[in-house]
């Protein structure tokens, strides 16, 4: 099982790190962290990650994961990245994204006619690329699986693990990372949050996007 993660500057770290923690532990998995050029990648929280491979190093994968970031739509300005995403998608068993990573899949032309999700602030933008925006935490349409905002990537990774390696393996990995969410505040969904808080946050987050 060859798994490719696309890394790019100003990506959101948890979009990749959460799923990486799980998917990298699937028996037989080999993980490739790929960027335009190999080397350090600075995330939107200033955390430095390392891409071990350049785009030209990786030509196929069984599973592709695209993380999101505040600048996800600016990857439209890098046709080499979008072409790489398209070429890898042609080889995959599963093509996946977390949060605004689905906007990158959209820009690559992969989501046209497909149901998909994204962060709650940006999910409606998917229609720009003829996707069918769906406000669910995990959306599976054929071999494409998209996850909603940031933390949903962990759920998606466990869901994928069950499909790839079976539920006992997924259960073991979930227990191993002690993933048993019990947040201190019940405001993790826009449907639960105070409307004033929700709209203020929506405006701040939308200001980060170019579309």
Q: Which of 67-76, 92-101, 150-159 has the lowest mean pLDDT?
A: 67-76
Instruction: Please report which confidence band the pLDDT of residue 70 belongs to, taking 50, 70 and 90 as the band edges.
Output: confident
Q: What is the mean pLDDT of the chain?
A: 95
List all residues 6 or more positions away from 130 whose beta carbon is below 8 Å from its beta carbon. 111, 112, 113
| pTM, entire model | 0.94
Instruction: Please report which confidence band the pLDDT of residue 154 belongs to, taking 50, 70 and 90 as the band edges.
Output: very high
Question: Where on the phi/psi map is residue 165: left (φ > 0), alpha (ψ -120 to 50), or beta?
Answer: alpha
pLDDT, residue 118, reads 97
CATH architecture of 2-183: 3-Layer(aba) Sandwich (3.40)
Instruction: Name the 3-class secondary structure at 2.
Output: strand
Task: Judge whether residue 104 has pLDDT over 70.
Answer: yes
The mean pLDDT value for 191-205 works out to 90
Give catalytic status of residue 100 as yes or no. no
Task: Judge whether residue 73 has pLDDT over 80.
Answer: no
Instruction: Give the active site residue among 99, 138, 139, 144.
Output: 99
Instruction: Please report which confidence band the pLDDT of residue 210 belongs to, taking 50, 70 and 90 as the band edges.
Output: low
Q: Which two tokens stand for residue 195?
A: 């409307």
The mean pLDDT value for 25-34 works out to 98
């Amino acid at each position: 099982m060859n798994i490719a993660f696309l890394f790019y500057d100003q990506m959101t770290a948890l979009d990749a790190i959460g799923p990486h923690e799980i998917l990298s532990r699937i028996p037989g998995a080999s993980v490739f962290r790929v960027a335009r050029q190999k080397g350090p990648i600075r995330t939107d929280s200033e955390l430095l990650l390392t891409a071990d491979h350049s785009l030209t190093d990786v030509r196929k994968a069984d599973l592709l994961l695209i993380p999101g970031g505040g600048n996800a739509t600016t990857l439209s300005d890098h046709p080499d990245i979008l072409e790489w995403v398209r070429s890898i998608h042609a080889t995959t068993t599963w093509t996946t994204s977390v949060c605004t990573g689905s906007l990158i899949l959209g820009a690559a032309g992969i989501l046209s006619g497909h149901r998909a999700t994204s962060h709650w602030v940006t999910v409606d933008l998917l229609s720009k690329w003829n996707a069918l925006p769906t406000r669910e935490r995990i959306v599976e349409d054929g071999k494409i699986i998209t996850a909603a905002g940031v933390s949903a990537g962990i759920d998606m990774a466990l869901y994928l693990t069950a499909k790839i390696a079976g539920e006992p393996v997924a259960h073991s990995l979930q227990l191993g990372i002690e993933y048993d969410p019990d947040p201190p505040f019940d405001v993790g969904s826009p449907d639960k949050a105070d409307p004033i808080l929700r709209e203020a946050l929506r405006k701040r987050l939308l200001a980060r996007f170019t579309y």
